[in-house]
Amino acid sequence: MRIRPLEPRLINQIAAGEVVERPASVLKELLENSLDAGSTRIEIDIEDGGKRLIRVRDNGHGIRKDDLALALSRHATSKITSLEDLERVASLGFRGEALPSIASVSRLVLQSRWQDDSSGWQVRGDGSETSTTPEPVAHSVGTTIEVRDLFFSVPARRKFLRTETTEQKHLDTVVQRIALSRPDIEMVVRRKRKAVHHLRPGHSEAEQLERMRALLGEAFTGQLIGLQHSAADLSLHGWVAAPTFSRSQADLQFFFVNGRAVRDKLLAHAVRQAYQDVLYHGRHPAFVLYLEMDPTAVDVNAHPAKHEVRFRDSRRVHDFLFRTLHQVLADVRPAEDQPAPLSVRATGETGFNPGYADRQGGMPLQVSDQLAQYRQLHGAATATAAENAWFKQTEPQLEAQTIPPLGFALAQLKGIYILAENEQGLVLVDMHAAHERISYEHLKNSYQEDGIRSQPLLVPLRIAVSRSEADEAEQRQDWFSALGFEVDRQGPEQLLVRQVPALLSDVDIEALVRDVLSDCQAHGRSQRIEESANALLSSMACHGSVRANRRLTIEEMNALLRDMERTERSGQCNHGRPTWVQMGLQELDTLFLRGR
């Protein structure tokens, strides 16, 4: 067949295949245009999961009469004018493809009134790019875009749409992301003419938390840890959920780069690495995070739908995220200004629903070495004179004395739990889980302070790898050496491992080296060696911790409480379970119907 130019309508329908996947794609593009227009209020109307109607109305600066027809033509935009603008994109949309692509597969009506005009104008789009004459229409300052009968002109695409319920869930996700990205914008969402959301603008932290509570639920917002950190030209702020609030799927993960919601493997890897020491295997963290950086350091033109971004210095971004979140999670310990990792409500419900059996396994160790083993791991684990004297003080004396965050021990329950009293009420501590975390952190610190001892292999291990992996290993010889490995390149596609860390002598070294090289190529770094060492240290800490049915004295219980207050990440054990629970006086009063 001869080469010939495509018709404008067909061109737009092809472009729509990249931009318009489903009704949620349409809503995303329209909302981003409203935000770029400087809107402070946005109204959304949805019918039939977006297949019948999507209407977005804003109070932005509007579109001039002479520009309305251009808004429905391809590659026409007001957001960039040169290559320099493309290299530092500050707006959410900039391609100029969304509206003509949407118009090519729907019945679109665009109404707008420019902020300096006295009346509004409207145009209709059918994807043909034929010039339409604007018609006068009554409209306040701002823009309304109405999209009806999506994919009516492409029946094959319409067949791929799911049920109304499924499409509505995707629409709700878009609303969530946009509403979280700009908490200062008022948003009204109506479904079949009934209001389902009226999100007030939030400028303070309390107002932003209220918006998250409306969108993501009370359980999530009750487990948040706030953070704000800056270094060089990178700034990270937002909230992460406590490790005990984990999910079976990654459905509560919201990451924004310069206000743009993104799904990026590099960012996800950094967050996962930060949580790897406190999260149960197979669980996913929850977070709402905002990364601000120089627009020239991030390429937002990497994907037609702008879901993905590319960082010019990806390793620096990865390290910044990992170190910031790692430190935030390390500071999760009992403190005066920190909430309990798990609070018990009067109904018996908790904010912790891991989806797996959280009962401790069998603890078959003998009881005879209980106290000796505890004192061996923590020589300072003896009660102070002040703690012993606390139990002999009168009530007025107690009120005058500052009580530690976890209070002081009262008793031991069934040889498993420690009961303590603090200012808020009753504290219950899982003594094995708590001591397991304390022992684990102690072993990690000792391992890091004493350095990594290497052990030569009797027979050097030969590993066949790809040429790129061999190049990676050769470039990282010093890094491998610092971690206790001696890895030499023996040929274009062969490595020779001569020595390994003594702690990892029983690990599958070949699989570990391959995984490390794969991580280095994909993310610029790897923590698999540290993870393998930590897994062994965790196992050692588990077996060295006090076990169930072991009776501790009051002094030893108080020593354990003080250790928890000093130890990083002591809010949860090595497997992600909570180590302590707070029951306030209000919860206790409710249990006993006091005040009714």
Per-residue pLDDT tens over the stretch 204-224: 999 999 999 999 988 888 889
Q: Which residues contact 454 (CB under 8 A, 6 or more apart)?
A: 484, 485, 486, 499, 500, 501, 502
pLDDT digit string (tens) for 217-246? 888 888 899 999 999 899 999 999 988 888
pLDDT tens digits for range 427-442: 999 998 898 888 888 8
Mean pLDDT of the 449-473 span:
86
* pTM summary value: 0.74
What local confidence, expressed as pLDDT, does residue 562 receive? 92
pLDDT value of position 130: 62
Overall average pLDDT of the 33-42 stretch: 94
The pLDDT tens digits of the residues spanning 391-425 come to: 444 444 445 457 899 999 999 998 889 999 999 89
Q: Give the least confident one: 44-48, 113-117, 365-369, 451-455.
A: 365-369
Question: Residue 380: is it exposed, middle or buried by C-beta count within 10 angstroms (0-12/13-18/19+)?
Answer: exposed
Instruction: Say yes or no to pLDDT of 44 above 70.
Output: yes
Over 452-491, what HEC string results? CCEEEEEEEEEEECCHHHHHHHHHCHHHHHHCCCEEEEEE
pLDDT per position as a tens digit, 256-308 = 999 999 888 888 889 988 988 888 777 899 999 999 999 888 888 766 666 77
Q: CA 567 to CA 402: how far, in whole Å?
A: 20
**DSSP letters along 205-242, please?**
HHHHHHHHHHHH-HHHHTTEEEEEEEETTEEEEEEEE-
Domains and CATH numbers, the chain: 8-199 (3.30.565.10), 217-330 (3.30.230.10), 368-596 (3.30.1370.100)
Confidence of residue 355 (pLDDT cuts 50, 70, 90): very low
Per-residue pLDDT, 315: 86
Arithmetic mean of pLDDT over the chain: 82
pLDDT digits (tens, 9 = 90+) for 303-316: 666 677 888 888 89
pLDDT level of residue 345 (50, 70, 90 thresholds): very low
Q: Is the pLDDT assigned to residue 254 strictly greater than 90?
A: yes
Q: How many percent of the chain have pLDDT more than 70?
A: 83
**Pairwise CA distance, residues 196 & 188, whole Å:** 8
Mean pLDDT of 120-133: 77
Q: 342 falls in which pLDDT band (50, 70, 90)?
A: low
Exposed / middle / buried, residue 13 (Cβ in 10 Å: 0-12, 13-18, 19+): buried
Say whether 380 sits in a helix, a strand or coil. coil
**What per-residue confidence (pLDDT) applies to 356?**
35
Share of the chain above pLDDT 90, in %: 39
CA 480 to chain CA centroid, Å, is 30
